[in-house]
Chain A
């Protein structure tokens, strides 16, 4: 019996150790660790540019990037670029979801719908969306349209398939229960299939939104005069590495914000998943 093990009878004074499999550690420690990884990252970055370990021109320090971001926003209308990018993401993503979610649920519910659409949907999944950029430019010119279409086709086929798979996983007993309670096909679709699959659909949407950002940057780098990606390509021409890094930073922050909003919506929409008990 060591002194620490006799103290374990009281959980609040129980000592924790750095490396215990799957044991929780105190919240202040979790926060400190999470902050320190970033402090370490920025510290090393600042240090390496201050000490001249890396070329200042290629890797400007974090302070320079922060200043560049401030200048971009206050003097160069960068907020407009951000707005354009966010607009493209939202419009194309909502359109893709409006097609993929109902289609995927119907394909997962009814074998006949799956048999008709699935050969088409899975074929499109194997065509890399960016390979359509040249033809999209010829069809739609250089405005918003080709970007919106690219983002749409980059998301819609994958999302459809994932939603279909999740719908197929809705347990047969739930459907059969509704049948023996007198439910008809339409009622079961609306009151069993859709509510049962919705939490998984939200998770899939959250993951596909990250993919949407990838395609957006590709589209804006290849062919655009505005948007975050276009700003970064302009900066490259003038060797403004600090602005490029500022662009990457903004994309990261936006991604985090969207992800957080999805997480929040998930908690608000599906409180029953958080419920715990016996």
Chain B
């Protein structure tokens, strides 16, 4: 059990979230949600829209309070937001007033990392996301995909034990999106980061996920833990290579069916 692949990094136990509406009504967004994420695992939270997967991610980040259950990172309980769990959002969060270099150094500066070390680590991660030529550019000069790469570099340079991503590529065009997905695979391979990422894109989930936690909707809870067996425990580096693997199509069909079953009922609520 000392194999790092089998050490539990994040443990979510019976977590729930109930929102109180102004009228006094309650909405149960997430109920009794339980799953584990292993060390150096790329975990995808997948499900139809409104299933509470983003709420679960925000609770892991400590940006949202839980209404019940426990969450543990390693052996300590999660309480509030801190640098242990860095988050990349769907909307662009580069600080406009800082250059790419300063953006990537930002987290380390907050945490009082000495200047020389800060510089060195920032360069390392700017190289990793292939933005070296744009070190001194301001975010306004960058494309959407480049801004997301700044956000990823900034979060990773701050050495979190968990990288959280909330539909990070949702606003990007198709080509940029799969470039970013392939970049993520190479980053996770080289940095051994543990990632929890929310998406509603099934292809993205199958390509990136070492584990796919599928959520049901109304209320949101874990319906199925999908381990993509077709990968044989190896990460795929190029997106097109996944398509021809035996078992890929079956798994995609299985998840699409789940999505359809879970997603249809909300037309009735309109």
Contacts and interface: CB of A to CB of B under 8 A. Distances in A.
A176 B85 CA distance: 11
A20 interface: no
A278 B144 CA distance: 9
A276 interface: yes
A173 B91 contact: yes
A271 B138 CA distance: 9
A180 B141 contact: no
Interface in B53-101: 61-63, 81-83, 85-87, 89, 91, 93, 95-98
A182 B63 contact: no
- Size range of the chain B interface in the assembly: 20 to 34
Interface in A102-161: none
Given A176-B63, A178-B110, A180-B63, A272 B87 contact: no
A177 B87 contact: yes
A270 B97 contact: yes
Interface in B126-185: 137-143, 146, 151, 154-155, 158, 160, 164
B216 to A, nearest CB: 27
Tell me what chain A mostly uses at the interface: helix, strand, loop, or mixed: helix
A277 interface: yes
A195 B110 contact: no
B107 interface: yes
Given A275-B140, A277-B141, A180 B81 contact: yes
A272 B96 contact: yes
A180 B96 contact: no
Interface in A227-278: 270-273, 275-278
B157 to A, nearest CB: 10
B22 to A, nearest CB: 16
A272 B140 contact: yes
A278 B160 CA distance: 31
A218 interface: no
A278 B83 contact: no
A173 B142 contact: no
B91 A191 contact: no
Nearest to A183: B110
Contacts of B98: 272
B145 to A, nearest CB: 10
Contacts of B82: 179-180, 182
5 contacts: A179-B63, A272-B98, A273-B96, A275-B137, A277-B143
Given A180-B85, A180-B164, A277-B142, 6 more contacts: A173-B89, A180-B61, A182-B82, A182-B110, A272-B97, A273-B96
